[in-house]
Structure 1
């Protein structure tokens, strides 16, 4: 595959520190101060090969409670065998340091850092942090990987998101090695959208739950970052492909129609067909009230992990793949025999969901009514 051209900008200066080719640097970017006047800083490591090549950033915890990405970057930071043959790698384990310390998704002012880019040096706390991160990391890189998890009380089956009309984003998304790829610019002010607009094509990777470093999700992320670096010629090695790879052409959340306690019939990553039971809703005393069914053939992209719901709350996220379900099932059958490690993420996520067989007494509701 044709190599991505790197921008000519020697020497590399981040946070006022010059990083020469063939060296590593630990950098702290001051983004705020405590009530005591002490510095609050984003920690990052810059690794530069002797040979020129693309500059790639990997960021995590823009939402402070999304720890799987932190685990991914931490594994890369602790890996003594991580050696670049060309280019530059910028690793940022925690972007939202204030949210991370408080185990909170947002900043202390309740603003979402992932809606605050590219930021301003004279704006709100969120805007100032975004500006510092953007100017020092994005402006110095050619490509980016931004690691996320689902929101609170939800889980996501591993997937990659990006503006696939951009060839560089498409290449990153496919090289990462996720089974599922979703097209989209991202919300206004989000890191990947604004980085792309600034000339640094960036993908968003979604894996698992917040508040956890899930081993299978971390392994998936580490493998994906390595895949990208190998594909770009920045590292030696062989790319690890997924069992299959397809775009999601449409996705939708199915929401609870009534309140109660859910009994799930599917797990993240599972193939479902039109009319298939997804979850049954029961009263506290065990009376079945209704059943949510799938309105389409698709794949379970994500689910609530909280089994109690009120009307209108999200239950199951279904994506419609471009690839036929028969082809996906055939590919998965082969991978179970030849690549058992690839299926670890699917098995892990299934353990987070209490999955039971549908109750036969109550017929499944019409899909349009259930959704």
Structure 2
């Protein structure tokens, strides 16, 4: 029998339930939606979570499609799933947990006696620590972004190559290989000896079907490559970036992009222009370095200094 919270599944079964993590402001208990898929054969354990940031829903769209498609009778091993991590932010469609104004993915491995976010992180990290592999499904918030996978442990980490392999197996086509901030699950997992990646499935308001399809394919790639399910996975070469150049607007007005997501950028090329409301050019911003046009704001209006776009730098293929 495999359990997670109130979900309990015998071999060859799947069950859903709740992982209790505290009480709401009216004193009522609340729990995170969880699922356990227990294969008929022994094997490794995969942990998957989504909605660590309350407005990043593509990962939930992936789970909504993946979980019903996994046949427990054909599975070797166990899959542990937390469908919505940032419970409070999800309820109000916000990025950060409104109870403590915290970005959840800066609180791992958490604290059972800490803030709201730290308690949720501790509960979900307890589940993740039971796994052999961890997938933490994200998206680029509500901005526009490539489908990519992030390896956040840093190149000197003993599990870097294992995390990079997991990223290649997931197979979005683009990888950011850059050490992440403290408190990220993709940092904390490898420190516990568990290869962990952070797929960033595009960026949108609500969810985006193309990015969800990338995520569904990525999860099944992992299940087949690591022996949870039968199947062959071809590892395609990935475009890797090791950093970002971020660009803000030198003037207020309306942004007009000259590059689109995924396009190659040469140093000195125009990335975007800023015009007044009548189309008169106010400013032009060029790339400092070559790379890939990786991310951009969604709304055209900007104030002076406001974020506009990012170019992935240090590009190679692996």
Query: Fold match, TM over 0.5?
Result: yes
CA shift, 1:302, in A, is: 0.7
Aligned to 2:46: 56
Name the residue aligned to 1:258. 251
In 1, distance between residues paired with 2:13 and 2:298? 44
Indicate which of 118, 137, 141 corresponds to 1:127.
118
> d(CA) in 2 for partners of 1:36 and 1:98?
13
- Give the conservation status (yes or no) of the 8 Å contact 1:278–1:294: yes
SS of equivalent to 1:53 = strand
Displacement of 1:177 in angstroms is: 0.7
**2:23 maps to 1:33:** yes
Partner Cα distance (2:242, 2:217) in 1: 25
1:213 paired residue number: 207
What is the aligned partner in structure 2 of residue 234 from structure 1? 228
**CA displacement 1:24-68 (0-9 Å, x = unmatched):** 221311112233332211111111212222211111100011011
Partner of residue 315 from structure 1, selected from 308, 311, 314: 308
Within 1, Cα distance between the matches of 2:169 and 2:16? Answer: 28
Larger Rg: 1
Correspondence list, 1:1-371, <5 A: 12-15=2-5, 19-79=9-69, 84-109=74-99, 110-135=101-126, 137-152=127-142, 154-162=143-151, 163=153, 165=157, 166=159, 167-239=161-233, 242=236, 244-323=237-316
Task: Give me the TM-score of the superposition, normalised by structure 2.
Answer: 0.91
> RMSD over aligned Cα, in angstroms?
2.2
Greater CA drift, 257-266 or 231-240: 231-240
Alpha-carbon distance in 1 for matches of 2:85, 2:66: 16
What is the CA-CA distance between 1:311 and the residue it aligns to?
2.1
CA separation of 1:155 and 1:41: change in aligned 2, threshold 3 A: same
Give how far 1:100 is off: 0.8
Deviations 1:215-259 (A, max 9, x none): 1000000011111111101112232655x4122133211221111
Cα distance between partner residues in 2 of 1:18 and 1:12: 6
In structure 2, relative to structure 1, the CA distance for the partners of 1:294 and 1:320 (3 Å cut) is same
- The alpha carbon displacement at 1:86 in A equals 1.1
**Structure 2 CA distance for partners of 1:82 and 1:309, relative to 1, 3 Å:** farther
Q: Which has the higher strand share?
A: 2
How far does residue 263 in structure 1 lie from its aligned partner after superposition?
A: 0.9
Q: Render the CA deviation track for 1:64-111: whole Å, top value 9, x for unaligned.
A: 110111101111123265764311111222111111111111112211
User: Partners in 1 of 2:310 and 2:199 — Cα distance?
Assistant: 16
- 1:261-305 Cα offsets, whole Å, 9 max, x none, are 111111111222222221111112321012112222211111111
Unaligned runs of 5+ in 2: none
The SS at the match of 1:236 is coil
Q: Determine the C-alpha separation between the residues in 2 that align with 1:227 and 1:82.
A: 17
Cα pair distance change 1:91/1:83, threshold 3 Å = farther
User: Quick check: 1:117–1:127 contact (8 Å CA) kept in 2?
Assistant: yes
Structure 1, unmatched stretches of 5+, are 1-10, 329-371
Distance 1:60 1:302 in 2: 21
Could you tell me how far 1:209 is from its partner in structure 2? 2.1
Partner SS, residue 78 of structure 1? helix
